[in-house]
Structure 1
Amino acid sequence: MNKATKTLAVSLSALSLAASLTGCGPSTFDAKGKIEDPTIRGAQCDSKMFRAVKTGDEVKVQAKGNTVAMGKVGTVKLDDRSAAGHGYICSFDFTVTGVPAGEKFYTVVVANQGQKEVSEEDLSTGKALLETPHLDNKPA
C-alpha cells in the first residue's frame, strides 16, 4: 500500500467515524409492538389451528412499498379484559431489528394476514398496536 492509499484509507475511516458520531450516517432502530387477536374464554393462544397469528410467524416492516426488515412474532399471553367488557385477547409481542430510521410511517405486515401503517415513533417506542380484526387484509 503506498502513502496516498494509506492516507485515503485513514481519511475515509475518520469520515465514517465522524458521520456515525454526528448522526449523519445511516441509523436503524428496533421496531416493537403488540398484536392483539380476540378470542374466547379458555382458548389456547398458542394453538396453531384457530389463531390468525401465532408465535414464530413472520413480521415484515416496509417503507415505500419495499421490505426493509423482517422479524418474528414472539411470546403470547391471554389477557382477560372481560371486566372491562372487552372479553379475552391473545396478546403477542413482536420485535423487528435493524429497521432503517427516517421514514414518518412504515407498513407492518403480519403473517400475511394483513397490514397496518404505523408511525416510526410508535414502532421505535414499542407503542405499535395491531389488532387482527382491524388489519387491512391486503398483505404486501
Structure 2
Amino acid sequence: MRLIAIITAVLLLAACGLSKQASESSTPSAPATITVSGTITVSADSMSSEQAMGGACVTDDGYSDISSGAQVRVEDSAGKVIALAALQAGHVSEVFGPGTAVEGMAYLCVFGFTVNDVPAEEKIYSVEVTHRGKISFTREKLNEPIALTLG
C-alpha cells in the first residue's frame, strides 16, 4: 500500500511538472523585430563643412532639414508609423576632385541612422527622412543597410 502511495505521489508531481512546462511554452513570446539601418547622402555646404574626408559636415542650403537629430520614420503598408529614430551626425564622404575651382572642399555629406524594434510582420515598409518622401522596401531588403540619396 505504501509503495502505491509513493508511486502515485511521484506520478502526480511529474504531471504537475509537465503541466507547468506546457503552460510556459504556450505563453506568447515578444513579437519578432528587425533593425533598419542605412544612410542618406546630400550635397555639402563646402564653406561650412570641414575640408577633410570623414570631417563634420553641414548640408547645402536646400537640405537644412537633413541634420543630426532629424527624424527617420518607418511605416507599415497601411501608412501607420511603427518605429522612429534620429539621424546621426553627418560626415564628409566626398570632396571636390583635382582640377576643380574648389579642389579638396567638401562635396557630399552622409548621415547614418539605425531604427530599432521595427515589427517584422510586414511584407512592405516605407522609410522617410524628415518630409522628403517615403521610399518603399521589402522586409528582405531591410535586412541589409539601405542607401538613400537626395539631389
Q: Following superposition, which runs of at least 4 residues in structure 1 exceed 6 angstroms of deviation?
A: none
Q: Which residue of 2 aligns with 1:14?
A: 25
CA distance in 2, matches of 1:36, 1:117: 17
Displacement of 1:43 in angstroms is 3.8
Aligned-residue sequence identity (percent) comes to 25
Q: Which runs of 5+ in 2 are unaligned?
A: 1-17, 50-56, 98-105
- Say if 1:59 and 1:72, in contact at 8 Å, map to a contact too: yes
Question: Quick one: structure 1 residues 29 and 57, their matched pair in 2 at CA, closer, same or farther if it must change by over 3 Å?
Answer: same
TM-score scaled to structure 1, two decimals?
Answer: 0.68
The structure with more radius of gyration: 2
Q: Which residue of 1 aligns with 2:69?
A: 56
More strand by share: 1
Q: Which residue of 2 aligns with 1:129?
A: 147
Displacement of 1:54 in angstroms is 0.6
Displacement of 1:79 in angstroms is 1.3
Question: Quick one: structure 1 residues 48 and 37, their matched pair in 2 at CA, closer, same or farther if it must change by over 3 Å?
Answer: closer
Displacement of 1:124 in angstroms is 2.6
- Say if 2:45 and 2:60, in contact at 8 Å, map to a contact too: no
The number of residues matched between the two structures is 120
Q: Which residue of 2 aligns with 1:4?
A: none
CA distance in 2, matches of 1:132, 1:52: 12
Q: 1:26 aligns with which of 25, 31, 38?
A: 31
Q: Which residue of 1 aligns with 2:127?
A: 108
- Say if 2:43 and 2:60, in contact at 8 Å, map to a contact too: no
Question: Quick one: structure 1 residues 34 and 47, their matched pair in 2 at CA, closer, same or farther if it must change by over 3 Å?
Answer: closer
- Say if 1:71 and 1:94, in contact at 8 Å, map to a contact too: yes
- Say if 2:39 and 2:113, in contact at 8 Å, map to a contact too: yes
Q: Which runs of 5+ in 1 are unaligned?
A: 1-6, 134-140
Q: 2:40 aligns with which of 31, 35, 43?
A: 35
CA distance in 2, matches of 1:8, 1:62: 41
